[in-house]
Amino acid sequence: MKTQTENRGDTIIDAMIAGYGPKFKHKDLDGLFAAAVATPEDTERLTAAFPAQGRYHRNTKFLKHVTSSYALGRIRYRLFAEKLIWLAKIMKRYNGVHKNRKIIRGLTRIEERELLLLGDHIDFDVLAEMLEDVTEHDTAAYADAFKFLIYRNLPQLRDYIEAVHFMDTSEDNWGNTVGLMLSELVFGHSVSAYLRLCESLLNHASEHEHVGIWQTPPAQQNEQGMLILPAFTHWQTATPTTYIKKVTQTVSEIVKHLYRLTDGERFLPFSGKFGGITGNYDAHFAAYRDIDWFREGRRFIEGLGLEYDPLQNQCASFATEAMHFRTLQTVNSQIIKFAKDFRFYVSCPGQLFIKPLKAGQKGSSSSPAKTNLWQIEGRFLRKHSCLLGFLADELTDYAGEGDMGRSGLMRDVGNDFSNLFIAVSRISRELSACVPNAANIRVVFEKYPGMCMSAMQYVLKREGYLGDAYRAIQGMVINPDGSYATRNEFMPRFQQFINKAGFSPRVRRELMSHMDPIKLVQPIHRQAKREMARLRSGINALKQIQLGTQSLRAYFEKMANSPK
C-alpha cells in the first residue's frame, strides 16, 4: 500500500487536470499526452521565425494571400500581362509614323486570357528567384521569366516578347504591385478589422446598457438601467458619464477618420506608377512620339484602381501612402486611449468592470489572486503606429529622383501590419470577457458625491447666490485634512448650507435632485444613443464603400478565381 507521501504526486496531477474545468476533454495524463501530437500545420506554425506567423497565426494567416512573396508574385506576373494586353490594344489602333514597326500585334481574346493566366503558379516564383540569383534584380528577373513563359507556352507570340516591360522601369511594375497590395491590405482587411472592433465596442456598450448601479431605483424609472460611470480628469473623479457615451465617442473618432480615407463614394486609391526611369516618359515618346502617353498612362493606372499622377520620379512620391498611414495612426491612437481607460476601469482595487473567472482559467502564472487583463494592453497597436509613422516618414524622404530603398520597405509591410490584426483581435476578445461591477460603481458614487456638485455650483450662480459658489461647494466636498468627503460626510453640510442660504422650496428641491447622477447624464446619454445609431449606419456605409471601391476588388477576385 502506498503511503500518503507516495500518493501525493498522483493527487496533485489529478487536481491539476480537474482544475482545467469540465470542458477540458482530457481526463487523465495518458489521454493528454496521446493527444499532444503536432500536425503538419502545427509544425509550420510553431517553427515560424516570427510570432505573427506562429503564435498569432490565426489572426494573420490570411496575409499569405495578400503580402507574401507568393501573393506579390501573382500580382507581378499579372501586371506584366495586363501591360502587354494594354500595349497590344494601343498598337492595334495605332496608325502613326511607325505603323510598320509595332512592338506587338493585336491579340485575340483567347491570347489575352492565356497571358493573364501565365505565371499563375508558385513554380514560376522559383523560376524568377533562380534568375534573380544572377541578375540581382527581382523585377528584371520576373520580366525575363515572363518572356520565357511566353516563349515556352505561347509560341505564336514569341516574336513579340520584347514588348514585355517595354518602356518601363522596375517601379512601373513593382510600384503598381505595391499599390494593389496596399489597396487590398488597407481598404480591404485593415478597414474591416477596424470596423469589426467598432461593432464590438458598440455591442458591448449596448449589451450592458441596462446595468443599474443603485439597489433602489431612482425616480426616473425609464432611465434606471443607464450604466453610469465616473469620468476622470487628471486621474481624479470629475463628473458622472455613461458607458455608452464613452464608447460612442471613441467609435465616432474611428469612423470619422476612416471616412478620411474616402471621398464619400470610394476609398482614395494608393499610388500607381507610370512614366519610365525617372517619370519623364522619355522612352515612351522616343519609341512612339505620336501617341498621347499621358492619356494612355492614365487609362492604364486608373483601370487598375490606382491613383494616376502624370508627374512622378523613379517611384511615386508616396505622399498618398503617407497620408493614409498617418490617418491610420490617428485611428490607432483612439483605440489605444480607450484600451488604456478600460484597463483603468478594470484595475484593482476599483474594479468598475470585472473579468469573471472561467473554469480552468489562470489569471496569472503565480498569483491566484489576480485576473490580468493583458490582451488589452495596446502595445501591439502602438508598435503598428510606430511602424506606420516610420513608413510615412521614410517613403517621402528621398534624394534626387529616388532609389530602391523605399520599394524595399514595402516588401515587409505584411509584418508591419500584422501587429494591427493581432491587436484588434486581442482587444475584442478581452473586452467581451468583461462585465460591469455595479456594486463597486455604486460605492464610487457614494464615496465621491463631489462629482455631482461640480455642476450644482452653476445652479447656485443662476439663482443669485450671494457668495463664492465655487468656495462654498469646495468646503462641503473636501474635508479639512484634504480627503474627499463621502456622501455621509457631505450631506449634513449640504443640508445646513441650503437651509442657511434661504433658497425657496422649489430651488431646494432642484438642488437636491442634482445629487442624482442620472439627472446630470440624461442629456448626454440620449445624445450618445442617437450617435450610436448614426455610427452603425456609418459603419454599414463604409462597408458599402469597400464593396464599391474598384476595379481593385474585382481585380483581386479575378486573380483569386482564375484557374491555377
- Please write the tens of the pLDDT for every residue from 403-444: 777 777 888 899 999 999 999 999 999 999 999 999 999 999
- Is the pTM higher than 0.85? yes
Q: What is the pLDDT of residue 49?
A: 64
The listed range with the strongest mean pLDDT (27-31, 433-437, 549-553) is 433-437
pLDDT band at 222 (very low <50, low <70, confident <90, very high): very low
Q: Are 304 and 272 in contact (CB under 8 A)?
A: yes
The x, y and z cell numbers of residue 346, run together, are 478594470
Q: Which one is predicted more confidently, 401 or 303? A: 303
Q: What are phi and psi of 188, to 5 degrees?
A: -85, -70
The x, y and z cell numbers of residue 55, run together, are 503564435
Name, in order, each residue with C-beta under 8 angstroms of 116's C-beta and a sequence gap of 6 or more.
Answer: 78, 81, 82, 85, 562
pLDDT band at 28 (very low <50, low <70, confident <90, very high): confident
Q: What is the pLDDT of residue 99?
A: 94
Q: What is the pLDDT of residue 369?
A: 67
Q: What is the pLDDT of residue 219?
A: 45
Q: Which one is predicted more confidently, 337 or 34? A: 337
- pLDDT tens-digit series, residues 350-369: 899 998 887 767 766 677 76
Find out whether the peptide bond into 454 is cis, omega within 30 degrees of 0. no
Q: What is the pLDDT of residue 557?
A: 59
Per-residue pLDDT, averaged over 385-414, amounts to 86
The span from the CA of 319 to the CA of 415, in Å, is: 21
The enclosing H or E element of 541 equals helix 517-548
Q: What is the pLDDT of residue 360?
A: 66
- pLDDT tens-digit series, residues 210-221: 887 765 544 444
Is the predicted pLDDT of residue 26 greater than 90, yes or no?
A: no
The span from the CA of 524 to the CA of 384, in Å, is: 33
From 226, 486, 444, 194, select the one nearest 344 (Cα to Cα).
444
- pLDDT tens-digit series, residues 31-90: 888 888 888 887 777 777 677 777 888 888 999 999 999 999 999 999 999 999 999 999
Q: Are 312 and 275 in contact (CB under 8 A)?
A: yes
Q: What is the pLDDT of residue 25?
A: 85
Is the predicted pLDDT of residue 2 greater than 60, yes or no?
A: no
Is the predicted pLDDT of residue 131 greater than 60, yes or no?
A: yes
One-letter amino acid at 524 equals I
The span from the CA of 120 to the CA of 559, in Å, is: 9
Using a 10 angstrom Cβ sphere, with 0-12 exposed, 13-18 middle and 19 or more buried, the burial of residue 20 is: middle
* DSSP assignments along 256-292, one per residue: HHHHTTBSSSSBPPPB---SSTTSS-HHHHHH-TTS-
The span from the CA of 516 to the CA of 546, in Å, is: 45
Q: Are 470 and 459 in contact (CB under 8 A)?
A: no
Q: What is the pLDDT of residue 558?
A: 61
- pLDDT tens-digit series, residues 157-205: 999 999 999 999 999 999 999 999 999 999 999 999 999 999 999 999 9
The span from the CA of 442 to the CA of 465, in Å, is: 31
One-letter amino acid at 239 equals T
Q: Are 196 and 428 in contact (CB under 8 A)?
A: yes
From 137, 52, 68, 56, select the one nearest 411 (Cα to Cα).
68
The span from the CA of 376 to the CA of 449, in Å, is: 30
Mean of the per-residue pLDDT values for the chain? 88
Share of the chain above pLDDT 90, in %: 61
The span from the CA of 41 to the CA of 47, in Å, is: 10
Each domain of the chain, given as residue ranges in start order, spans 69-166, 173-442+527-561, 450-514
The span from the CA of 339 to the CA of 328, in Å, is: 16
Q: What is the pLDDT of residue 292?
A: 97
Query: Architecture of domain 69-166 in CATH?
Result: Orthogonal Bundle (1.10)
For β-strands 236-242 and 353-354, DSSP reports them as unpaired
pLDDT band at 562 (very low <50, low <70, confident <90, very high): low
- pLDDT tens-digit series, residues 271-324: 999 999 999 999 999 999 999 999 999 999 999 999 999 999 888 888 999 999
Q: What is the pLDDT of residue 178?
A: 94
- pLDDT tens-digit series, residues 453-510: 888 889 999 988 889 999 999 999 999 999 999 999 999 999 899 888 888 899 988 8
The span from the CA of 358 to the CA of 363, in Å, is: 10
Is the predicted pLDDT of residue 3 greater than 90, yes or no?
A: no
Is the predicted pLDDT of residue 330 greater than 60, yes or no?
A: yes
DSSP state of 315: S
Q: What is the pLDDT of residue 220?
A: 46
CATH superfamily of 173-442+527-561: Fumarase/aspartase (Central domain) (1.20.200.10)
The separation between CA 252 and the C-alpha centre of its own chain, rounded to angstroms, equals 15
* DSSP assignments along 394-463, one per residue: HHT--STT--THHHHHGGGHHHHHHHHHHHHHHHHHHHHT-EE-HHHHHHHHHH-THHHHHHHHHHHHHT
One-letter amino acid at 121 equals H
Is the predicted pLDDT of residue 551 greater than 50, yes or no?
A: no
From 186, 212, 133, 83, select the one nearest 413 (Cα to Cα).
186
Buried b (16+ CB within 10 A) or exposed e, 130-141: ebbeeeeebbbb
Q: What is the pLDDT of residue 563?
A: 45
For β-strands 435-436 and 236-242, DSSP reports them as unpaired
Name, in order, each residue with C-beta under 8 angstroms of 148's C-beta and a sequence gap of 6 or more.
Answer: 127
CB count in 10 Å sphere of residue 319: 14
Q: What are phi and psi of 34, to 5 degrees?
A: -65, -30
